[in-house]
Chain A
């Protein structure tokens, strides 16, 4: 027992314990920063130019997302219209079937996803505005602040414009919710108030955004994009003079023209061309075939197997759209891809596909597919606003305004679009010559339909023109006037608000 000294060992143990206890009591023992992640206090915001870019980029990221410009989007803006059928296999996606049949219910998942997606975008824009307002750096130049505000307000205006056209009355949220849930529970505003809000945002954006960017920022919102969108907003409000004026600003900006051949606009090489007023930017690399991309082309891609499995095959051109093209209009072939036909890259499309027609404007370059190692076209930009759209808006507003001078301008604008479509072949698509307001109106509406086929305008256009019931009932669909112009307010959102949000008529 002598090898062991009782007292010494007690002392040793107690000393070790006290040492460890005091180690535990180190004042900073409980101060543990989050590992490997930033919070709002320690993010190393880069100094210098564009101190708000990180936040704005977040808004662009949402713009690219599934809920904003992909899956609910094609259903709401296109499948509902007479130009597109649901596609895919007959029973695939009950939610999209509802869109096609105009039997949308308040619990339809697309209706909720579209709503939350756009409010996500609005929230990101409000965050940018808040960061500008509460910038901790007093030396940030005012011009940078104004540019950031203009960009955020452009995107917010876009989001509210989609919401007001889709749902009618929606809540106007213009601040970042910081305190309580009650603060976020805002009742709906009337469409007139929402349109006024959008006009304010887009006017501010049009005034303060640059006309163009350095190529490394191509695709950011420009004053041309803001004026183009504003022109469209005015058209929906039937403010013809303002619409004409806004469209004219785009046409005289010197940034855009109709020089891009129609067939090239939708190619990978046609991205951000002179035709492009605003498009959702997407790209892909072999390492990240989807992370930087948009699924827009994937959900509409050819639904084959093996190498012909290019996507889900939704939103396919209808026979009505097929029939709408004038004889030999080359735009038809660029709009509709036929099973058993030949692709624009010369590939033979297999005959045995679930659908006879697919949206040819999302067809991707096989070389690009091989390079990325992915067939699903996540790199394809979404053309949200094309120059031809602006020119036709100008034509429409001018014709509606009436008067010889305006009608002459309208005709010139209309024919400039037809001339480009002609592609030098004078045997087709003759110039429109009528100056009768009604005949010209029909010609412009027809031109919008075929020029912008499968391009997100048709459903809203026919509702705006008041012809939706006629057009869709002619297709054998049940369009109830006073109901089907709008989507239902998502039941989820009504539930979340405990009834502060109210349902649209008829639902």
Chain B
């Protein structure tokens, strides 16, 4: 109340005092919520270089023109401007930005107050992303945003798979990223510590402004700018170790001998002679290691009256837990803005990025499949080969690892930059012109060394021999690829407030986007000389041109041109209207199908601004209802120029020893191919209660994709038809809650989120009803079911005896010990018609639980995240091309009636047991303790003596514990292939990471 009186007085004063003279102003700055004094708040005089900071008591003093404006800024709080109007004492109350609906969110080609939004946009602050030691910033969003599914990948440097509100399309379901305005699909060049905020635009009304690019959702990333009025140096560093949290349980040598002997008995084959196989090797122990990782970031910012500058350099280095794999990343960014005056601003960004990566040299399945009865090696050049029953199919994993170690050099360079100019004119208009460039260049060189010698241990009458493959010669390879992107945005914004009640922002714009790439590669084998294992020689020309080699190259080009407009209007902060329209032209499609129009409309009602609400409802501080609708397109994952029937020219005709080119149609193309169309509704409620301690957001959405680009396999033609076919819907609910409070020195917040998504393929095909098979038929997409579901037989048990076979439905070829399947169609026997829906690889439920605690100088963060309702397909267990090592579940295999009713007989020729069935599915539900962090911030008095502004040290643990029923390294089975998702084929483990970190600000 006092504050309002003060404001009214200020307004009165402002009318009277119009002449400027410098006066001294003093005052105190406190937290609006807790009334605590705030130390180190920067106070600047708007339009000048004068600046100061609050002292230990929260007090300040500054000389300022009597008609000037003071700007109060403080990290984590909303900046406030107060007109001096001749006062000598100005006390300010700053509101924490956490609790602010007035926070501004970036919405694409502009920004808007969160309270004025009518669509679903979630914001995550950069500091919450920088907390996790991930080399890819998107990985850190996992569990923080309702409706966002992130599947992380433990491979160093690998990007996670991102899904927003389910799966839209049978093609690519990846969202796009808009980083400071430039549209990206790959954001590996970003430094997690350099991100100011991330906004996830989830619903069609929010993404419609991005037209054909926005179909799968948009993630807007804003990088840091220099903070006003200060020169600041900050340094963050962390170092840690990574460990594989759990191995896959495979049998040891004794177990293997037992099971393989049992299998041979079942096959009526002669027993295997294990005499020479005396080793007991745990291959997983040998391929994994405890790996180190570091993250370092130095940021220097300076802000003056006319210009702001920010320089950021980062270095991170992650060794893989799989030996030899590694990823190093260097980042650099320079941001500069120059203000000529209040109306003209120019500036730009320059990002540099460089990576060095070593890929894995051995597959995880190789270590799982290799028999444990073989030793590793005799000496550095002589390894043991696998026993005869798997010798041709399974190599010695350590031989592969060591032979390929340090034989490839992979590097990438990327420069992303933009320049812009912004002009304000006629007071209400802003014209902004931006040009973006993204150039990247990847190169690799490699070497294929001579093979090792292998000892084939004697089996039965066959003696032990040592062999070396003399036909293998050394070879070298080189490849280079470059990617080019040019984008321009021209926007004109009109912003006005009429009679205080009507707030209007109107935007019109034009944008073009051009992308192109080019690649070239080659390899050459020296048939006479042995090229040394030394990178100095790894160039194609090391082998003379008479030697055999292969060379290839290709490129692509794509262009897009768009016009767009948007209106944001609010009346009395109570009634909200947002609408947008966009017209896109894209080169991928035929000229007559190239142009499309997309748009959205959203309405909101802030009930808490109504007088009746204020009069009658207590405890609720804020309540908003919103609803929106939008339509947009999706062409992600489409090749270029698909409408022109492609030609397959790689096959050749051969006559004698002559080779002739051939041409055949690659596919049958629908000449009217166009993009997929996405339409959707979003209805939500946002509220704050208990003096803003509680805030929440509940949203229902219903989104439909139609005209999905589909490859219809043609029976009896062995080709496919490319056409727009089918409709998929995603409906769901998202709930985000936050509770923040402070009890004395103790602060805490709890911010859970939850989302539920129901996916349904409404129809695929019209007169011809068909299904899309994925992953060799294990997944299926057809009308009436969720996309890419697991399709196969349902296990009911194991046939225990011939009597069982007589009374239970079975295949003609079923035998005792085989898996018994459910007779779905009830015809008394098992046939292919008994295959059915077995579950979905995509989780129905995603949730995140984030708890943070603070007590005096200590802070604790606990973050957990989980999914439920999906299944994981243990595809790694389905291989029967050779005898492979057994996972421990096979120790319980059926041997005689009554022995086991789940695990079938040990006999890899019983193909009925290798059919896709529920036997190979595991519930994918999991909950993972994602982050545990304990931090300590040093008291200012202590560190200011040594010139430091703030010092925080912390200990952090990532992925410490996972609760799950899956048997793989991680329950996060890959979801990137939409129609063949959820298979565990040896997924790279998500390591547990233990880090120590230090943040310094000077």
Interface status of B467 (Cβ within 8 A of chain A)? yes
- Cβ < 8 Å to A, chain B residues 800-826: 811, 813
* CB-based contact B712/A181 at 8 Å: yes
Closest CB of chain B to A96's CB: distance in Å? 10
* CB-based contact B647/A57 at 8 Å: no
Closest CB of chain A to B929's CB: distance in Å? 42
- Would you give the 0/1 interface string for A1-27, flagging 1 where the beta carbon is closer than 8 Å to chain B? 100101001100110110011001100
Residues in A neighbouring B646, C-beta threshold 8 A = 37, 39
CA distance A375 to B472 in the complex (A): 10
- Would you give the 0/1 interface string for B876-907, flagging 1 where the beta carbon is closer than 8 Å to chain A? 00001111000000000000000000000000
Residues in B neighbouring A307, C-beta threshold 8 A = 467, 469-471
Closest CB of chain B to A103's CB: distance in Å? 5
- Would you give the 0/1 interface string for B349-378, flagging 1 where the beta carbon is closer than 8 Å to chain A? 000000000000000000000000000000
* CB-based contact A89/B721 at 8 Å: no
Interface status of A352 (Cβ within 8 A of chain B)? yes
Interface status of B770 (Cβ within 8 A of chain A)? yes
Closest CB of chain B to A3's CB: distance in Å? 10
CA distance A117 to B719 in the complex (A): 10
CA distance A180 to B770 in the complex (A): 12
Partner of B344, one of A10, A40, A171: A10
* CB-based contact B663/A305 at 8 Å: no
- Most A CB contacts (10 A, CB to CB) among B391, B585, B594 go to B391
- Most A CB contacts (10 A, CB to CB) among B514, B652, B653, B769 go to B653
CA distance A24 to B340 in the complex (A): 29
Using CB atoms, name the residue of chain B closest to A339.
B462
* CB-based contact B512/A29 at 8 Å: yes
* CB-based contact A352/B716 at 8 Å: no
CA distance A72 to B527 in the complex (A): 34
* CB-based contact A370/B909 at 8 Å: no
- Cβ < 8 Å to A, chain B residues 596-650: 640-641, 644-649
Using CB atoms, name the residue of chain B closest to A286.
B548
* CB-based contact B641/A32 at 8 Å: yes
Also in contact, A36 and B881, with CB within 8 A (given A31-B587, A62-B651, A94-B914):
no
* CB-based contact A306/B467 at 8 Å: yes
CA distance A54 to B769 in the complex (A): 35
Interface status of B498 (Cβ within 8 A of chain A)? no
- Would you give the 0/1 interface string for A413-453, flagging 1 where the beta carbon is closer than 8 Å to chain B? 00000000000000000000000000000000000000000
* CB-based contact B715/A497 at 8 Å: yes
Also in contact, A218 and B655, with CB within 8 A (given A54-B662, A177-B719):
yes
- Would you give the 0/1 interface string for B721-764, flagging 1 where the beta carbon is closer than 8 Å to chain A? 10100000000000000000000000000000000000000000
* CB-based contact B662/A494 at 8 Å: no
Using CB atoms, name the residue of chain B closest to A350.
B465
Partner of A283, one of B556, B656, B723, B882: B656
Interface status of B554 (Cβ within 8 A of chain A)? yes
Interface status of B659 (Cβ within 8 A of chain A)? yes
Using CB atoms, name the residue of chain A closest to B469.
A306
* CB-based contact A181/B765 at 8 Å: yes
* CB-based contact A107/B915 at 8 Å: yes
Interface status of B774 (Cβ within 8 A of chain A)? no
* CB-based contact B644/A287 at 8 Å: no
* CB-based contact B655/A216 at 8 Å: yes
* CB-based contact B718/A120 at 8 Å: yes
CA distance A79 to B645 in the complex (A): 40
Using CB atoms, name the residue of chain A closest to B465.
A352
* CB-based contact A61/B653 at 8 Å: yes
Using CB atoms, name the residue of chain A closest to B389.
A89
Residues in A neighbouring B471, C-beta threshold 8 A = 307, 369-370, 373-375
* CB-based contact A180/B663 at 8 Å: no
- Would you give the 0/1 interface string for B420-434, flagging 1 where the beta carbon is closer than 8 Å to chain A? 010101000001010
Closest CB of chain B to A7's CB: distance in Å? 10
* CB-based contact B668/A178 at 8 Å: yes
Interface status of A281 (Cβ within 8 A of chain B)? yes
Using CB atoms, name the residue of chain A closest to B649.
A38
* CB-based contact B718/A57 at 8 Å: no
Using CB atoms, name the residue of chain B closest to A499.
B833
- Most A CB contacts (10 A, CB to CB) among B425, B516, B561, B716 go to B716
* CB-based contact B527/A373 at 8 Å: yes
CA distance A460 to B591 in the complex (A): 54
Interface status of A35 (Cβ within 8 A of chain B)? yes
* CB-based contact B656/A9 at 8 Å: no
* CB-based contact B385/A123 at 8 Å: no
* CB-based contact B717/A123 at 8 Å: yes
Residues in B neighbouring A215, C-beta threshold 8 A = 656
Interface status of A466 (Cβ within 8 A of chain B)? no
* CB-based contact B655/A105 at 8 Å: no
CA distance A41 to B908 in the complex (A): 51
* CB-based contact B653/A285 at 8 Å: no
Partner of B644, one of A40, A120, A281, A308: A40
- Would you give the 0/1 interface string for B452-480, flagging 1 where the beta carbon is closer than 8 Å to chain A? 00101011011101011111010000000
Also in contact, A283 and B832, with CB within 8 A (given A1-B341, A184-B716):
no
Interface status of B555 (Cβ within 8 A of chain A)? yes
Closest CB of chain B to A251's CB: distance in Å? 24
* CB-based contact B881/A93 at 8 Å: yes
Interface status of B496 (Cβ within 8 A of chain A)? no
Closest CB of chain B to A91's CB: distance in Å? 5
* CB-based contact A91/B340 at 8 Å: no
Interface size class of chain A, counting residues whose CB lies under 8 Å from the partner chain = 35 or more
Also in contact, A496 and B550, with CB within 8 A (given A33-B641, A98-B911, A303-B392):
no
CA distance A10 to B458 in the complex (A): 86
Interface status of A229 (Cβ within 8 A of chain B)? no
Residues in B neighbouring A53, C-beta threshold 8 A = 653, 660
Partner of B658, one of A119, A216, A501: A216
Residues in B neighbouring A217, C-beta threshold 8 A = 655-656, 658
* CB-based contact A292/B644 at 8 Å: no
- Cβ < 8 Å to B, chain A residues 71-114: 89-95, 97-98, 103, 105-108
* CB-based contact A57/B717 at 8 Å: no
Interface status of B553 (Cβ within 8 A of chain A)? yes
Interface status of A256 (Cβ within 8 A of chain B)? no
Interface status of B534 (Cβ within 8 A of chain A)? no
Residues in B neighbouring A283, C-beta threshold 8 A = 654, 656-659
- Most A CB contacts (10 A, CB to CB) among B392, B661, B915 go to B392
CA distance A95 to B811 in the complex (A): 17
Interface status of A43 (Cβ within 8 A of chain B)? yes
Interface status of B76 (Cβ within 8 A of chain A)? no
Residues in B neighbouring A123, C-beta threshold 8 A = 717-719
Using CB atoms, name the residue of chain B closest to A353.
B462
CA distance A417 to B516 in the complex (A): 64
Interface status of B525 (Cβ within 8 A of chain A)? yes
Interface status of A64 (Cβ within 8 A of chain B)? yes
Interface status of A312 (Cβ within 8 A of chain B)? yes
* CB-based contact B661/A57 at 8 Å: yes
CA distance A308 to B560 in the complex (A): 57
Closest CB of chain A to B142's CB: distance in Å? 37
Also in contact, A106 and B832, with CB within 8 A (given A32-B641, A35-B557, A307-B467):
yes
Residues in B neighbouring A32, C-beta threshold 8 A = 557-559, 587, 640-641
Residues in A neighbouring B554, C-beta threshold 8 A = 35-37
Also in contact, A21 and B340, with CB within 8 A (given A123-B718, A181-B770, A182-B768):
no
Interface status of B946 (Cβ within 8 A of chain A)? no
* CB-based contact A43/B663 at 8 Å: yes
Interface status of B532 (Cβ within 8 A of chain A)? no
Closest CB of chain A to B109's CB: distance in Å? 15
CA distance A36 to B555 in the complex (A): 6
Partner of A30, one of B392, B462, B585, B880: B585
Pick 13 A–B contacts, CB within 8 A, sort by A: A9-B340, A20-B488, A35-B640, A38-B663, A39-B646, A89-B882, A94-B908, A180-B768, A184-B714, A216-B655, A219-B656, A281-B654, A306-B468
Known: A177-B719, A354-B388. 20 other contacts (CB 8 A): A17-B433, A20-B435, A25-B561, A36-B556, A43-B649, A58-B651, A89-B882, A120-B718, A181-B770, A217-B658, A287-B550, A292-B652, A306-B454, A306-B470, A308-B467, A309-B469, A370-B471, A491-B832, A492-B773, A494-B832
